[in-house]
Structure 1
Protein backbone atom coordinates (compact mmCIF):
# COMPACT_ATOMS: atom_id res chain seq x y z
CA UNK A 1 0.00 0.00 0.00
CA UNK A 2 1.27 3.45 -0.85
CA UNK A 3 0.57 5.54 2.24
CA UNK A 4 -1.62 8.56 1.58
CA UNK A 5 -2.78 7.55 -1.92
CA UNK A 6 -6.11 6.03 -0.92
CA UNK A 7 -8.37 5.42 2.04
CA UNK A 8 -11.26 3.16 2.99
CA UNK A 9 -12.43 -0.26 1.92
CA UNK A 10 -15.21 -1.66 -0.25
CA UNK A 11 -17.79 0.98 -1.16
CA UNK A 12 -15.91 3.57 0.94
CA UNK A 13 -12.66 3.13 -1.02
CA UNK A 14 -11.39 6.43 -2.46
CA UNK A 15 -8.22 7.70 -4.09
CA UNK A 16 -6.77 10.72 -2.28
CA UNK A 17 -5.50 13.76 -4.09
CA UNK A 18 -4.68 17.32 -3.19
CA UNK A 19 -6.32 20.59 -4.24
CA UNK A 20 -4.61 23.99 -4.42
CA UNK A 21 -6.50 26.66 -2.47
CA UNK A 22 -5.34 29.39 -4.89
CA UNK A 23 -6.23 27.96 -8.29
CA UNK A 24 -8.36 24.90 -7.50
CA UNK A 25 -6.10 22.48 -9.42
CA UNK A 26 -6.40 18.87 -8.27
CA UNK A 27 -3.46 16.45 -8.30
CA UNK A 28 -3.07 12.69 -8.24
CA UNK A 29 -0.79 11.34 -7.14
CA UNK A 30 -1.04 13.81 -4.31
CA UNK A 31 1.25 16.83 -4.09
CA UNK A 32 2.35 18.01 -0.66
CA UNK A 33 4.98 20.69 -1.36
CA UNK A 34 3.76 23.10 -4.08
CA UNK A 35 1.09 23.63 -6.71
CA UNK A 36 2.14 21.96 -9.98
CA UNK A 37 0.05 24.37 -12.06
CA UNK A 38 2.68 26.56 -13.81
CA UNK A 39 0.22 29.46 -14.00
CA UNK A 40 -0.44 29.49 -10.24
CA UNK A 41 1.54 31.50 -7.72
CA UNK A 42 0.74 28.81 -5.17
CA UNK A 43 -1.58 28.24 -2.31
CA UNK A 44 -2.18 25.77 0.48
CA UNK A 45 -2.61 22.15 -0.60
CA UNK A 46 -5.52 20.33 0.97
CA UNK A 47 -6.06 16.55 0.89
CA UNK A 48 -9.28 15.68 -0.92
CA UNK A 49 -11.01 12.37 -1.65
CA UNK A 50 -11.40 11.97 -5.41
CA UNK A 51 -14.46 10.85 -7.36
CA UNK A 52 -15.11 7.11 -7.15
CA UNK A 53 -16.36 7.03 -10.73
CA UNK A 54 -15.18 8.22 -14.09
CA UNK A 55 -15.19 7.42 -17.80
CA UNK A 56 -12.68 5.38 -19.77
CA UNK A 57 -10.46 7.84 -21.61
CA UNK A 58 -8.16 5.18 -23.12
CA UNK A 59 -7.05 1.61 -22.48
CA UNK A 60 -4.51 -1.03 -23.52
CA UNK A 61 -3.30 -4.40 -22.35
CA UNK A 62 -0.06 -5.56 -20.80
CA UNK A 63 1.05 -8.82 -22.38
CA UNK A 64 4.59 -9.06 -21.00
CA UNK A 65 6.11 -9.61 -17.56
CA UNK A 66 7.47 -6.22 -16.49
CA UNK A 67 11.02 -5.96 -15.15
CA UNK A 68 11.99 -5.37 -11.53
CA UNK A 69 11.05 -3.58 -9.32
CA UNK A 70 7.54 -4.76 -10.34
CA UNK A 71 6.77 -7.83 -8.23
CA UNK A 72 5.83 -11.04 -10.04
CA UNK A 73 6.30 -14.68 -9.14
CA UNK A 74 8.60 -16.18 -11.80
CA UNK A 75 7.22 -19.64 -10.94
CA UNK A 76 3.72 -18.67 -12.08
CA UNK A 77 2.68 -18.08 -15.70
CA UNK A 78 2.28 -14.43 -16.67
CA UNK A 79 -1.34 -13.23 -16.75
CA UNK A 80 -1.98 -10.27 -19.08
CA UNK A 81 -4.06 -7.43 -17.63
CA UNK A 82 -5.85 -4.35 -18.95
CA UNK A 83 -4.58 -0.85 -18.14
CA UNK A 84 -7.21 1.89 -18.11
CA UNK A 85 -6.84 5.68 -18.20
CA UNK A 86 -9.92 7.11 -16.48
CA UNK A 87 -11.14 10.71 -16.51
CA UNK A 88 -12.57 11.27 -13.04
CA UNK A 89 -16.17 12.44 -12.89
CA UNK A 90 -15.78 15.70 -10.93
CA UNK A 91 -12.09 16.54 -11.10
CA UNK A 92 -11.70 15.97 -14.86
CA UNK A 93 -8.17 14.61 -14.36
CA UNK A 94 -7.00 11.32 -15.87
CA UNK A 95 -5.80 8.54 -13.54
CA UNK A 96 -4.17 5.36 -14.83
CA UNK A 97 -4.68 1.95 -13.21
CA UNK A 98 -5.25 -1.73 -13.81
CA UNK A 99 -8.65 -3.21 -14.50
CA UNK A 100 -10.02 -5.69 -12.00
CA UNK A 101 -9.09 -9.32 -12.74
CA UNK A 102 -11.28 -10.82 -15.45
CA UNK A 103 -11.85 -7.53 -17.31
CA UNK A 104 -9.98 -7.45 -20.61
CA UNK A 105 -9.65 -4.86 -23.38
CA UNK A 106 -12.45 -6.73 -25.19
CA UNK A 107 -14.77 -5.66 -22.32
CA UNK A 108 -13.86 -1.97 -22.49
CA UNK A 109 -14.96 0.96 -24.63
CA UNK A 110 -13.94 4.61 -24.55
CA UNK A 111 -16.54 6.55 -22.57
CA UNK A 112 -17.84 3.65 -20.48
CA UNK A 113 -18.32 4.32 -16.77
CA UNK A 114 -15.94 2.67 -14.30
CA UNK A 115 -15.42 2.90 -10.55
CA UNK A 116 -12.35 2.60 -8.35
CA UNK A 117 -12.15 -0.43 -6.05
CA UNK A 118 -9.42 -1.88 -3.83
CA UNK A 119 -7.21 -4.58 -5.33
CA UNK A 120 -4.31 -6.76 -4.29
CA UNK A 121 -0.93 -5.81 -5.71
CA UNK A 122 0.94 -8.63 -3.96
CA UNK A 123 0.71 -10.71 -0.80
CA UNK A 124 2.68 -13.12 1.30
CA UNK A 125 1.97 -14.99 4.54
CA UNK A 126 2.22 -11.81 6.65
CA UNK A 127 1.24 -8.91 4.38
CA UNK A 128 -1.22 -7.95 1.68
CA UNK A 129 -0.18 -4.93 -0.40
CA UNK A 130 -3.26 -3.00 -1.52
CA UNK A 131 -3.62 -0.92 -4.68
CA UNK A 132 -6.52 0.47 -6.70
CA UNK A 133 -8.24 -1.10 -9.69
CA UNK A 134 -10.89 0.08 -12.15
CA UNK A 135 -14.12 -1.91 -12.51
CA UNK A 136 -16.88 -1.25 -15.04
CA UNK A 137 -20.03 -0.16 -13.15
CA UNK A 138 -22.59 -2.89 -12.88
CA UNK A 139 -19.91 -5.63 -12.64
CA UNK A 140 -19.63 -7.48 -9.32
Structure 2
Protein backbone atom coordinates (compact mmCIF):
# COMPACT_ATOMS: atom_id res chain seq x y z
CA UNK A 1 0.00 0.00 0.00
CA UNK A 2 1.64 3.20 -1.09
CA UNK A 3 -1.15 5.64 -1.77
CA UNK A 4 0.89 8.43 -0.14
CA UNK A 5 2.56 9.54 -3.38
CA UNK A 6 2.63 13.30 -3.77
CA UNK A 7 2.17 13.94 -0.03
CA UNK A 8 4.88 15.64 2.02
CA UNK A 9 6.49 13.56 4.79
CA UNK A 10 5.14 14.34 8.27
CA UNK A 11 8.74 15.20 9.28
CA UNK A 12 11.97 15.46 7.32
CA UNK A 13 14.55 12.71 7.62
CA UNK A 14 12.36 9.90 9.00
CA UNK A 15 12.73 7.73 5.89
CA UNK A 16 14.29 7.65 2.46
CA UNK A 17 12.18 7.00 -0.60
CA UNK A 18 13.89 3.76 -1.59
CA UNK A 19 12.70 1.69 -3.28
CA UNK A 20 11.77 0.26 -0.95
CA UNK A 21 11.33 3.11 1.54
CA UNK A 22 13.49 2.65 4.66
CA UNK A 23 13.41 4.37 8.02
CA UNK A 24 16.62 6.27 8.83
CA UNK A 25 18.19 5.73 12.22
CA UNK A 26 21.47 6.71 13.80
CA UNK A 27 24.24 4.42 15.07
CA UNK A 28 26.16 5.58 18.14
CA UNK A 29 29.88 4.87 18.57
CA UNK A 30 29.00 1.92 20.86
CA UNK A 31 26.83 0.36 18.10
CA UNK A 32 23.45 1.25 19.64
CA UNK A 33 20.89 2.40 17.07
CA UNK A 34 18.37 5.15 17.76
CA UNK A 35 15.21 6.16 15.90
CA UNK A 36 14.22 8.77 15.05
CA UNK A 37 17.37 10.80 14.60
CA UNK A 38 17.45 13.55 17.24
CA UNK A 39 17.43 17.15 15.99
CA UNK A 40 20.53 17.92 18.07
CA UNK A 41 22.36 14.68 18.91
CA UNK A 42 24.54 14.68 22.02
CA UNK A 43 27.13 12.58 20.21
CA UNK A 44 28.04 11.89 16.57
CA UNK A 45 25.66 9.47 14.84
CA UNK A 46 26.20 7.48 11.68
CA UNK A 47 23.05 7.53 9.53
CA UNK A 48 21.81 4.00 8.82
CA UNK A 49 18.91 2.69 6.74
CA UNK A 50 16.87 0.38 8.97
CA UNK A 51 15.27 -2.95 8.09
CA UNK A 52 11.96 -2.81 6.24
CA UNK A 53 10.45 -5.61 8.32
CA UNK A 54 10.37 -6.74 11.91
CA UNK A 55 8.19 -8.43 14.51
CA UNK A 56 5.33 -7.09 16.59
CA UNK A 57 6.55 -6.56 20.14
CA UNK A 58 3.50 -4.86 21.72
CA UNK A 59 0.37 -2.94 20.67
CA UNK A 60 -2.69 -0.99 21.75
CA UNK A 61 -5.56 0.97 20.25
CA UNK A 62 -5.61 4.78 20.53
CA UNK A 63 -9.33 5.29 21.11
CA UNK A 64 -9.38 8.96 22.12
CA UNK A 65 -7.81 12.13 20.72
CA UNK A 66 -4.47 12.89 22.37
CA UNK A 67 -4.18 16.11 24.35
CA UNK A 68 -3.05 19.36 22.75
CA UNK A 69 -0.95 20.00 20.77
CA UNK A 70 -2.58 17.19 18.74
CA UNK A 71 -1.68 17.72 15.08
CA UNK A 72 -3.49 14.84 13.44
CA UNK A 73 -6.37 14.49 11.04
CA UNK A 74 -9.72 15.97 12.04
CA UNK A 75 -12.12 14.57 12.93
CA UNK A 76 -10.07 12.19 15.08
CA UNK A 77 -10.32 8.51 14.17
CA UNK A 78 -9.03 5.75 16.49
CA UNK A 79 -5.92 3.92 15.28
CA UNK A 80 -3.68 0.99 16.20
CA UNK A 81 -0.29 1.78 17.69
CA UNK A 82 2.51 -0.67 18.37
CA UNK A 83 6.16 -1.37 18.88
CA UNK A 84 7.93 -3.18 16.04
CA UNK A 85 11.26 -4.83 16.78
CA UNK A 86 13.67 -4.50 13.87
CA UNK A 87 16.02 -7.44 14.55
CA UNK A 88 19.46 -6.45 15.84
CA UNK A 89 18.59 -2.78 15.34
CA UNK A 90 15.93 -0.97 17.39
CA UNK A 91 12.31 -1.10 18.53
CA UNK A 92 10.18 1.45 16.62
CA UNK A 93 6.90 2.97 17.82
CA UNK A 94 4.53 3.06 14.86
CA UNK A 95 0.97 3.13 13.64
CA UNK A 96 -0.28 -0.29 12.55
CA UNK A 97 -2.44 -0.43 9.43
CA UNK A 98 -4.35 -2.89 7.24
CA UNK A 99 -5.52 -5.08 10.12
CA UNK A 100 -7.65 -5.09 13.26
CA UNK A 101 -6.63 -5.45 16.90
CA UNK A 102 -8.10 -8.95 17.17
CA UNK A 103 -5.76 -10.19 14.40
CA UNK A 104 -2.53 -9.03 16.05
CA UNK A 105 -0.19 -11.54 17.73
CA UNK A 106 3.10 -11.23 19.58
CA UNK A 107 5.98 -11.92 17.23
CA UNK A 108 3.83 -11.38 14.13
CA UNK A 109 5.97 -10.45 11.09
CA UNK A 110 5.41 -6.79 10.14
CA UNK A 111 6.36 -4.75 7.07
CA UNK A 112 7.08 -1.02 6.68
CA UNK A 113 4.70 1.04 4.50
CA UNK A 114 4.30 4.75 3.79
CA UNK A 115 0.67 5.89 4.19
CA UNK A 116 -1.31 9.13 4.18
CA UNK A 117 -1.45 10.89 7.55
CA UNK A 118 -3.88 13.59 6.45
CA UNK A 119 -4.74 15.33 3.18
CA UNK A 120 -1.26 16.86 2.85
CA UNK A 121 1.21 14.65 4.73
CA UNK A 122 2.41 11.06 4.72
CA UNK A 123 3.80 8.98 7.58
CA UNK A 124 5.34 5.58 8.10
CA UNK A 125 3.42 2.64 9.50
CA UNK A 126 3.73 -1.12 9.72
CA UNK A 127 1.28 -3.74 8.48
CA UNK A 128 1.21 -7.51 8.87
CA UNK A 129 3.66 -9.01 6.40
CA UNK A 130 1.98 -10.29 3.26
CA UNK A 131 2.91 -13.86 2.45
CA UNK A 132 3.62 -14.80 -1.17
Range into which the TM-score falls when normalised by the shorter chain: 0.7 to 0.9
Equivalent residues of 2:94, 2:125 under 8 A apart: yes
Residue 70 (str. 1) matches residue 71 (str. 2)? yes
Once residues 71 and 124 of structure 2 are traced to their aligned partners in structure 1, the CA distance between those partners, rounded to angstroms, is 15
Q: How many residues align?
A: 121
The CA RMSD over aligned residues, in Å, is: 2.0
Could you state the TM-score of these two structures normalised by the residue count of structure 2?
A: 0.81
How far the C-alpha of 1:137 sits from its partner, in A, is 0.5
Unmatched tracts of structure 1, length 5 or more:
36-43
Structure 1 length as normaliser, TM-score?
Answer: 0.77
Residues 78-113 of structure 1: CA deviation (Å, up to 9, x unaligned): 43211111111231x21111111x412111101000
Q: Which has the larger radius of gyration?
A: 1
Question: Conserved in 2, the CA contact under 8 Å of 1:60 and 1:83?
Answer: yes
**Which ranges in structure 2 are unaligned for 5 or more consecutive residues?**
1-9
Kindly indicate whether structure 1 or structure 2 has the higher relative contact order, using CA contacts under 8 Å at least 6 residues apart: 2
3-state SS of 1:64 partner? coil
Moved over 2 A (4+): 31-35, 65-72
> Which residue, out of 72, 75, 80, partners 2:78?
80
> Which residue number corresponds to residue 17 of structure 1?
25
Q: Is the 8 A contact 2:58 2:84 kept in 1?
A: yes
SS of 1:12's equivalent in the other structure is: coil
